[in-house]
Amino acid sequence: MIGSDEEHVSLLEFGLSEYESKVYTTLLKFGRMKVKDIALKSGVPRTKVYGVVKSLSEKGLVEFSGKGPLYCIPIAPEEVFSKRLEEEKKRFRKMVLAYKKLEELKRETILPTDFEEKKYTVYSMKTFQNRLKEILENTSKSFYACLNWWGLNVLSENIEKVNTLSKGVSVKIIVGLYNDDRIIEKFDSTIDVRVTGKSVGVNIMVFDEKTTVLLEESGKITEINNVEVCRLAKEIIIEKFYKKSLSWRKAYQIMQLGGEDIITLYSGEERVYEAFIQAVAETVFDEEKLYQIGEKFVENLTMMLQIDLFNKGFEVQQPIISALISENLGKDSSVRFDPLTRLYVLEAPMASKGLPATVWLFALAGAAKRNEMSFKILQNTSIQAEGKHIIQAKIEKKPFT
């Protein structure tokens, strides 16, 4: 029976997550399906399905067809997995040859007593959990991790140790979009857990900037004790993904509102883009220019990047865009919308000319106009002494002249 535990485990062995396994086996059973129907048949939450089928498409397991309702078509397993099986067979044969050579070396070689202390250690999954517990107990300065669904499952075995790290330890954990929310919710609220919309193809942990752990989905886990390796891992991988992430609670909120696909777009603007956005925001003072830029921006997101959010009703779009505005402007910002008075209030923790520097405010105005609504600014005040910017606007159904 499709979806049985045995078949599910075999798909995990091929590098598919639990949700990916369920969706793929469902498609194999029922054939060409709409995304909403996949959710009903597979048992995967509807807010997760869109992202899962995109992930399966990237892995060559699913194709898309249609432009109205989007249909998903499974690729036959023999087309995809046969190559992987051949690769695994070749890998296994190489392992056997290597093992035989090691046995020969063991018989022929007498190790000197003054051999150099090894710089790395390889563990199996079973032996690594005890080692991970030991490393966490001795971590005193920092713990950084970038993990996909598999790496997060490995870390979850010692999640209590992570939560008990002292307040003086800097902890940053970046996870991919398609992860088990039940695991993430177990982290203490003080832990900085971030979600990136970019594909996380590596599992890496860095402890006190002196120990690096690499986790391969094959089950091989390598501990490297080298400061330079730690520095490179932090700069090239950890910091790269951290800049392209948002807090997991905000990401979860957006997904619950049906905006999962837009998280893949979020990348935490780089400094050069921030400067440009600031310049545009400081230049725009009249509503008509705000509408023009916003409407074109939304149109580009919809057409060029296939962001489906802006094809939905404004009442669906507004809370998602507002969440992105709040995330973009920082934790001290706030957004409030009263559906009765239609009054929209934005407070940003920064004094600025023109408008607060976030592309999502333009997107909100553009989305309003596309839905034949006005975004009339009633107050646009920058309070220099308090370092605060306040915008009050009226969003209501109103014909444009």
Asked if 329 and 377 sit in the same domain, the reply is yes
Q: Record the tokens describing residue 344, joined without a space.
A: 């929209």
Tell whether 314 and 230 lie within a shared domain.
no
Contact by Cβ (8 Å): 54, 17? no
Q: What CA–CA distance (Å, rounded) separates 94 from 104?
A: 15
Residue 401's nearest CA partner among 365, 369, 361 is: 369
Q: What is the pLDDT of residue 268?
A: 47
The domain of 33 spans 5-75
Position of tokens 């177990």?
186
Are β-strands 120-123 and 221-224 bridged in parallel, bridged antiparallel, or unpaired?
Answer: antiparallel
Tell me, yes or no, whether 143 and 49 share the same domain: no
d(CA 151, CA 145): 9
Burial 81-116 (b: 16+ CB within 10 A, else e): beeeeeeeeeeeeeeeeeeeeeeeeeeeeeeeeeee
Q: Which helix (H) or strand (E) holds 263?
A: helix 260-263
- In the sheet where 62-65 sits, what is the strand order? 33-34, 71-74, 62-65
Three-class SS state of 223: strand
> Which H or E run contains 171?
strand 170-176
Q: What is the pLDDT of residue 174?
A: 92
Exposure of 340 in the CB half-sphere (CA atoms within 13 A) = 0
Residue 68: predicted pLDDT: 65
Show pLDDT as tens, one digit a residue, over the chain (401 residues): 344 444 444 576 677 788 888 999 999 999 889 888 998 888 888 778 888 888 888 888 898 887 667 789 998 887 777 777 777 677 667 766 766 666 665 555 444 444 344 578 889 888 899 999 999 999 999 999 999 888 998 999 999 999 999 888 999 999 987 777 888 899 998 899 998 876 677 889 999 999 999 998 888 899 999 888 888 888 888 888 888 888 888 888 887 777 766 666 665 445 556 677 778 877 776 778 888 899 999 988 888 777 788 888 899 999 999 999 988 888 788 999 999 999 999 998 876 677 888 889 999 999 999 999 999 999 988 887 788 889 999 999 875 55
> Residue written as tokens 């990237």?
58
One domain for residues 54 and 127: no
Compute the distance between CA of residue 321 and CA of residue 208 in angstroms, rounded to an integer. 37
Q: Which of 254, 146, 256 is nearest to 196 (CA)?
A: 146
Q: Do 232 and 280 have their domain in common?
A: no
60 assigned to some structural domain: yes
**Does residue 93 lie in a domain region?**
no
Contacts of 132 by beta carbon, 8 Å cutoff, 6+ apart: 154, 155, 157, 158, 161, 213
Q: Specify the number of domains making up the chain.
A: 3
Q: Which residues, other chains included, contact 12 with Cβ-Cβ below 8 Å and sequence gap of 6+? A: 18, 21
Question: Which residue, 129, 140, 244, 237, is CA-closest to 196?
Answer: 244
Task: Write out the two tokens for 124.
Answer: 């199996």
pLDDT of residue 5: 45
Whether 90 is covered by a domain: the verdict is no
| pLDDT value for 131 | 94
Is the residue at 92 inside a domain?
no
Residue type, 158: N
In this prediction, residue 345 carries a pLDDT of 95
Residue 11, CA distances (Å) to 4, 18, 47, 148, 291 in order: 11, 8, 22, 16, 48
Can you tell me the distance from the alpha carbon of 397 to that of 401, in angstroms, rounded to the nearest whole number? 13
Here the CATH number for the domain that contains residue 189 is 3.30.870.10
Confirm whether 351 is domain-assigned: yes
CA–CA dist 177, 196 (Å, integer): 6
Return the structure tokens found at 188: 């203490």
Considering the domain architecture, whether residues 41 and 156 belong to the same structural domain is answered as no
Separation between Cα atoms, residue 112 and residue 109, nearest integer Å: 9
pLDDT at 249: 85
Distance CA(146)–CA(198), nearest Å, equals 12
Report if residue 64 sits inside a domain: yes
Q: Are residues 273 and 243 in the same domain?
A: no
**Predicted pLDDT at 270:** 54
**Is residue 12, in this structure, part of any structural domain at all?**
yes
CA distances for 344 relative to 152, 177, 361, 364, 384, angstroms: 39, 30, 11, 11, 22
E strand or H helix that includes residue 229: helix 227-232
- pLDDT at residue 137 in the model: 94
CATH, residue 334? 3.30.1380
